Amino acid sequence: MDIGKRVAREEDWIQGATGDWEIVLGLEVHAQITSKAKLFSGSSTEFGAEQNTHVSLVDAALPGMLPVINRVCVEQAVKTGLGLRAQINLRSVFDRKNYFYPDLPQGYQISQFKHPIVGEGEIEIDLPEERVEKIGIERLHMEQDAGKSVHDMHPTMSHVDLNRSGVALMEIVSRPDMRSAEEAQAYVRKLRTILRYLGTCDGNMEQGSLRADVNVSVRRPGGELGTRCEIKNVNSIRFIGQAIEHEARRQIEILEDGGKIDQETRLFDPKTGETRSMRSKEEAHDYRYFPDPDLLPLELQQEDVDRIAASLPELPDEKKERLMTDYGLSAYDATVLVSDGARADFFEEVAKGRDPKLAVNWVNGDLFGALNREGHSLEASPVSAKQLGELLDLISDNTISGRIAKDVFDSMYKTGRNAIEIVEKEGLRQVTDTGAIEAAIDEVIAANPDKVEQVKTKPKLAGWFVGQVMKATSGKANPQLVNEILAKKIDIPSED
């Protein structure tokens, strides 16, 4: 089936006054290529510098200045194309997209219009309940970023900073294959994960390294495509969801009122959660694309592409497969792990020579629970993979119980100390001495003859005895031993 023809699941339909609608979404993601210097000049790409201090003569479009392409940016684009399982075009051409804007010093943006460096590809997005959808990639091309206009420094003037002008971007254009805000968000997440695995974009949406233009249209489920609106420069995954929801409802309202959608560019306002028409675009754009005569066609050798292909890291989907096969993880656990390459690496280090199920529960559960609670990144985790592994070893060799391990972990997280150190210092070693456990059990039995009677008819009460024994041993008694000895001492009927 042509994935572009997919109809949304019924639960994703939007109920209008006149019936159901489905959303059709395509995304153009602008991803800043990770590089030291800009696409066509030797200026730094570093974020956050003082205005116009990362601007070369070329970036400021001084007369007679010429662009020279950055080799690494080209390689990064190829790498990304390969990561998207896309076709790499050995010959691509840079075009000029002509329009006037103060943050566009040349009066044109150098982009790739007719012959992009990367052609068709595909990615799989991961949705709740282990639903996976294939989203088509139409193309990827390289282009220059624009500068920035600051509008709030003066009542009637704008201030222009060209630091970003000329920074290399990849524009990754999807097919209109998404059918809900959730899918669009999953697409951006997955794309971001792939880019980060590849090291071709840091995916930092707050700094604008990744932003999306969202094309939204609505139609009757499975019906003819509607007219789309493009929402420009949405810079967080949450906003992408909000913008789509709002825009779809806006379009449905217009259509249900008998109106028609104008194809236009809109802006999302995070303050109101709404989209609005861009005022500056009153005239239809005519970009007058033509091949940039300052640049020659970009010719790549197949060997170069092969070399880059050979250097590709393991990508999320492959890693997920492997984690499921090699460690017997569930699809869910594996998906969670590979959403961040560092997280998967962390897991693998912890799981090495240990019980993978125990490892994944601790990594995805306890560790990430704590990191999220404390707002820490994995890089800043106070507990290293080695340390977490040592804790797991203490559980496996019965030095501590799983219950005590939680306390030990909390202490490790707070202090950064090793598990064994905490266990020794705080005397948390599990009691495996049967004599000591027996003594504790005898004490409990002697003190509670009524309970001993009751347990004969109420087998569930056995747990109460275990609890009392654990209490008496400050939780350090080996629960398995407690159960075994208890069963010998009192008569507990089987539960069925």
Partner 1 sequence: MSVDQNTVRHIARLARIAVRDDELEHLAKELNSILDWVEQLGELDTSDVEPMTSAVETTMKMREDEVTFGNLQDEVTRNAPASEDGFYVVPKVVE
Partner 2 sequence: MAKNDELIGLTLAEARDKLKAKEITSAELTDAYISEMEAGRDLNAYVLETAEQAREMAKASDAKLAKGEGGAIEGVPLGIKDLFCTKDVRSTACSHILDGFTPPYESTVTSQLWRDGAVMLGKLNNDEFAMGSSNETSFYGPVTNPWRREGDDTKLVPGGSSGGSSAAVAAKLCLGATATDTGGSIRQPAAFTGTVGMKPTYGRCSRWGIVAFASSLDQAGPITRDVRDAAIMLKSMAGHDPQDTTSVDRPVPDYEAALGQGVKGLTVGIPKEYRVDGMPEEIDTLWSQGVEWLKAAGANIKEVSLPHTKYALPAYYIVAPAEASSNLARYDGVRYGLRVEGKDITEMYENTRAEGFGDEVRRRVLIGTYVLSAGYYDAYYLKAQKVRSLIAHDFRQAFSEVDVLLTPTAPSAAFGIGEKSDDPLSMYLNDVFTVTVNLAGLPGISVPAGLSKEGLPLGLQLIGRGFDEETLFRTAHKLEEAAQFTAAPEAWWRS
Binding site for partner 1 (CB under 8 A): 35-37, 41-44, 50-57, 59-60, 62, 68-74, 93, 100-102, 149-151, 153-162, 267, 278-280, 283, 286, 288, 291, 293, 295-299
Binding positions for partner 2, rule: CB under 8 A:
57, 60-69, 96, 98, 100, 102, 105-108, 158, 160, 286, 288-290, 292-296
Question: Pick from partner 2, partner 1, none: which does 328 bind, CB < 5 to 8 A by kind?
Answer: none
Using only C-alpha atoms, the chain has a radius of gyration, in whole angstroms, of 30
Question: Pick from partner 1, partner 2, none: which does 70 bind, CB < 5 to 8 A by kind?
Answer: partner 1
- Tokens 């009677």 locate to 453
Cα–Cα distance list, 154 to 50, 100, 149, 157, 336 (Å):
18, 22, 12, 5, 47
For partner 1, which is the closer residue by CB, 132 or 150? 150
Helix (H) or strand (E) holding 405: helix 402-415
Q: How far is the CB of 308 from partner 2 (least distance, A)?
A: 22
Where would I find the H helices in 199-315? 237-256, 302-310
Question: Pick from partner 1, partner 2, none: which does 290 bind, CB < 5 to 8 A by kind?
Answer: partner 2
Q: How far is the CB of 173 from partner 2 (least distance, A)?
A: 20
Question: Pick from partner 2, partner 1, none: which does 289 bind, CB < 5 to 8 A by kind?
Answer: partner 2
For partner 2, which is the closer residue by CB, 98 or 432? 98
Question: Pick from partner 2, partner 1, none: which does 331 bind, CB < 5 to 8 A by kind?
Answer: none
Question: Pick from partner 1, partner 2, none: which does 375 bind, CB < 5 to 8 A by kind?
Answer: none
For partner 1, which is the closer residue by CB, 68 or 447? 68
Residue 437 near residue 485 (C-beta atoms within 8 A): yes
Q: How far is the CB of 288 from partner 2 (least distance, A)?
A: 4
Q: How far is the CB of 150 from partner 1 (least distance, A)?
A: 7
In angstroms, how far is CA 346 from the centroid of its own chain?
Answer: 16
Give just the sign of the alpha carbon dihedral 47, 49, 51, 53. negative
Question: Pick from partner 2, partner 1, none: which does 64 bind, CB < 5 to 8 A by kind?
Answer: partner 2
Q: How far is the CB of 108 from partner 2 (least distance, A)?
A: 6
For partner 1, which is the closer residue by CB, 13 or 40? 40
For partner 2, which is the closer residue by CB, 134 or 281? 281
For partner 2, which is the closer residue by CB, 287 or 464? 287
Q: How far is the CB of 201 from partner 1 (least distance, A)?
A: 15
Question: Pick from partner 1, partner 2, none: which does 59 bind, CB < 5 to 8 A by kind?
Answer: partner 1
Question: Pick from partner 1, partner 2, none: which does 154 bind, CB < 5 to 8 A by kind?
Answer: partner 1
The Cα–Cα gap between 206 and 431 comes to 51
The Cα–Cα gap between 82 and 200 comes to 11
For partner 2, which is the closer residue by CB, 108 or 362? 108
Q: Which amino acid belongs to residue 93?
A: V
Residues counted in the chain: 496
The Cα–Cα gap between 243 and 273 comes to 7
Residue 76 near residue 45 (C-beta atoms within 8 A): no
Q: Which amino acid belongs to residue 445?
A: I
Q: How far is the CB of 314 from partner 1 (least distance, A)?
A: 24
For partner 2, which is the closer residue by CB, 101 or 414? 101
The Cα–Cα gap between 382 and 391 comes to 14
For residue 320, what are the contacts with CB-CB under 8 A and spacing of at least 6? Answer: 331, 334, 335, 337, 338
Backbone region of residue 437 per phi and psi (left: phi > 0; alpha: psi in -120 to 50; beta: other values)? alpha
Q: Where are the beta strands (DSSP E) in 307-359?
A: none
For partner 2, which is the closer residue by CB, 105 or 116? 105
Q: How far is the CB of 151 from partner 1 (least distance, A)?
A: 7
Q: Which amino acid belongs to residue 37?
A: A
The Cα–Cα gap between 364 and 334 comes to 10
Q: How far is the CB of 260 from partner 1 (least distance, A)?
A: 25
